[in-house]
Copies of this chain bind each other. A is one copy, B any other.
Amino acid sequence: MRPTVHDIASRAGVSLATVDRVLNRRPGVSARTREKVDQAVHELGFVRDVAAANLAKGRTYPLTFIIPSNDNSFMRGLRVALDEARVRAGVERIAIRLVDVPAFDAAALAMALRAAAAAEPAGIAFVAVDAPEVAAAAAEIVAAGIPLVTLVSDLSGAERDHYAGIDNAAAGRTAASLLGRFSGGGKGKVAVLAGSMLVRDHRERCEAFAAVMAQDFARLSVLPVLEGRDDPAVVEQMVSGLFSGLEEIVALYSLGAGNRGLVKALERVPARLRPVVVAHELTETTRGALQAGLIDAVLNQDAGHEVRSAIRVLKAKADGLSVVAAQERIRIDIFLKDNLP
């Protein structure tokens, strides 16, 4: 049987209340008493029963998620995942508050972060824009002792407790290898399509992609990055432009969102000119394109996993507990037409 507070109390020769005060680092205990209790905890290998504690406290964890009000499939998927988490909110003793911010707007995000922190939630998760003012706000929050997790896109520096998202450099490298090996042995141009170089995940994917292309596939030359702001209409125009030009584009890496526009444009490219395409995020659009042979591989991050992971981590941090690291690593799913779920 696991030891309980009673065991600690009698072992240390104090009352339950005192044990509780020590366990929860509340003031009003003499150094000597504190020591006795700590000793007993240590000797007995006591681990407090979080479920019982929560029951006694009637505790719920108010969590705030700050998400860009970007209308693309991935962000919508993220919202769906949050809604699903809300369904289980009662059982998991969490209460999720969703805050929208304009996309790619560092100032707005910093403000939203401060506003969220003012409500003193048990934890905050946010999609980072990698800018100094955001980092400053994040640092304040961490300093205030509120658990803070970046979601999908990370923040440079260490001003957060955890990052719930994929390794974007690995994603970029993987995209490069797949594109390079899928595109046969010939020469040609490779187009790269991003949302915005202001977000760290896009920048990291892009840089890693370019590095591997240069190193392993020198026969392919990478064209300057196009920024489509994750907007389908913009993306469509850009891609159409690419294929009406004279350059021979043999491959295309779409590392951002807005793939609806990409697919529309690809559909109009004559079959014999169609490039090898790797895109990000499995949505209705990319799934269809994969099956139709317009896209060759999709790299995906599972928004549901990211949300659940962020929640687990925030709760654990709030309780001062450690997490199962392997469980919280967000994997890069690689989908071909053959392994669609």
Contacts and interface: CB of A to CB of B under 8 A. Distances in A.
24 contacts: A2-B90, A47-B90, A47-B91, A49-B55, A51-B54, A52-B55, A55-B55, A84-B324, A170-B338, A170-B339, A171-B339, A173-B338, A176-B338, A177-B336, A178-B336, A181-B181, A181-B296, A184-B184, A184-B185, A212-B338, A304-B327, A308-B327, A329-B341, A332-B339
Given A51-B54, A185-B184, A333-B331, A338 B177 contact: yes
Given A329-B341, A334-B334, 11 more contacts: A47-B90, A47-B91, A51-B51, A52-B55, A55-B55, A88-B324, A170-B339, A173-B339, A174-B336, A177-B337, A181-B181
A50 interface: yes
A55 B173 CA distance: 49
Interface in A283-321: 296, 302, 304-305, 308
A167 interface: yes
A84 B327 CA distance: 12
A304 to B, nearest CB: 5
Contacts of A49: 55
A176 B336 CA distance: 11
Contacts of A177: 336-338
Interface in A166-223: 167, 170-171, 173-174, 176-178, 181-182, 184-185, 212
Given A171-B339, A181-B182, A50 B331 contact: no
A294 to B, nearest CB: 15
Contacts of A331: 331, 333
A296 B47 CA distance: 46
Contacts of A271: none
A326 interface: yes
* Chain B CB within 10 A, most for which of A167, A176, A182, A338: A338
Interface string A245-279: 00000000000000000000000000000000000
Nearest to A52: B55
B338 A174 contact: yes
Interface string A26-64: 000000000000000000000101111011000000000
A88 B184 CA distance: 49
Contacts of A47: 90-91
7 smallest beta-carbon distances between A and B, as pairs: A173-B338, A51-B51, A334-B334, A170-B339, A174-B339, A174-B338, A177-B336
A212 B338 CA distance: 9
B327 A305 contact: yes
A306 B90 CA distance: 26
